[in-house]
Structure 1
């Protein structure tokens, strides 16, 4: 009798663990190198926006930069979470204006230079950042097969449209 109870308990435990294991593995997607590179790029691109908005906010003291900068910090957190969810290693510098991606480093320097010229140029820089982000997110969404990843990108895309509208409102004043 005791052995029968132990056997049933072990059988139930084994079935439960198998179900849990299979369920967790069915959620795991194998990502292409392109998808991994895109996630890493998007994280650093969000950092470019954060760093530029921090710089321009301090230089021109415009509320739009302070508001959107806070949002960009959340976007970086979302991208870090996506990378960590997929157990993808990444590099991100805590130092402002420091980037591992050479293209983004050049972009940052060009945006800071242009945004330093005038308030109008600074707002145009914000607009350009959001337009580039929208373009890159649309491509990332179209190249992803993972619904969770697409949802993260879509949330960032919607926020970028809001940011673009905010810069356009400020430019029209």
Structure 2
């Protein structure tokens, strides 16, 4: 799959997942910049945290595979960074008593949508080193987009700081 086809597909998938989040934020009222750690953790926060956990694992797992295929240190370095993100999200899941749906194996996901994205990204990244770099850029673009939405749609200071 070409990068130009994959990016809109991922954006559409993510748009579907986060359609309800702006409505939930509006129901809570306008965003405040002076959030405290005592803000209530909501069901929407739990849903977003669960999505972020799987998304960070997707990123790490893709980078692990790209490193194995292309032997470029950048992929190994980013995989290590993604592992730190996974650990931070997992810590929040424990703190807020959110079940962790993640499967232990590299490339294994409980969410079929994430599994499909992983499969597509890995297929594209295996075509050439250039495509592998495009996959990395796509992952980071989507991650930044999702983090921005998550930050805007939570009132929990700890989540904002971690995201």
TM-score, normalization by structure 2: 0.75
Which residue of 68, 89, 93 corresponds with 2:99? 89
> Counterpart of 1:109 in 2: which secondary structure?
helix
Residues 1:124 and 2:134 aligned together: yes
Aligned residue in 2 for 1:73: 83
> How far apart are 1:32 and its partner, in Å?
2.1
> How far apart are 1:29 and its partner, in Å?
4.4
Q: Aligned runs of 1:33-52 on 2, under 5 Å?
A: 33-52=43-62
Contact persistence 2:66–2:126 (CA under 8 A): yes
* Alpha-carbon distance in structure 2 between the residues aligned to 1:145 and 1:27: 9
* Alpha-carbon distance in structure 1 between the residues aligned to 2:141 and 2:159: 20
TM-score, normalization by structure 1: 0.71
Aligned length: 128
State which structure, 1 or 2, has the greater radius of gyration over its C-alpha atoms: 1
Higher relative contact order, structure no. (Cα contacts within 8 Å, ≥ 6 residues apart): 2
* Alpha-carbon distance in structure 2 between the residues aligned to 1:41 and 1:86: 15
Contact persistence 2:67–2:73 (CA under 8 A): yes
Stretches (4+) displaced over 4 A: 26-29
Aligned residue in 2 for 1:114: 124
Unaligned runs of 5+ in 1: 1-25, 154-173
* Alpha-carbon distance in structure 2 between the residues aligned to 1:27 and 1:119: 43
Aligned residue in 2 for 1:164: none
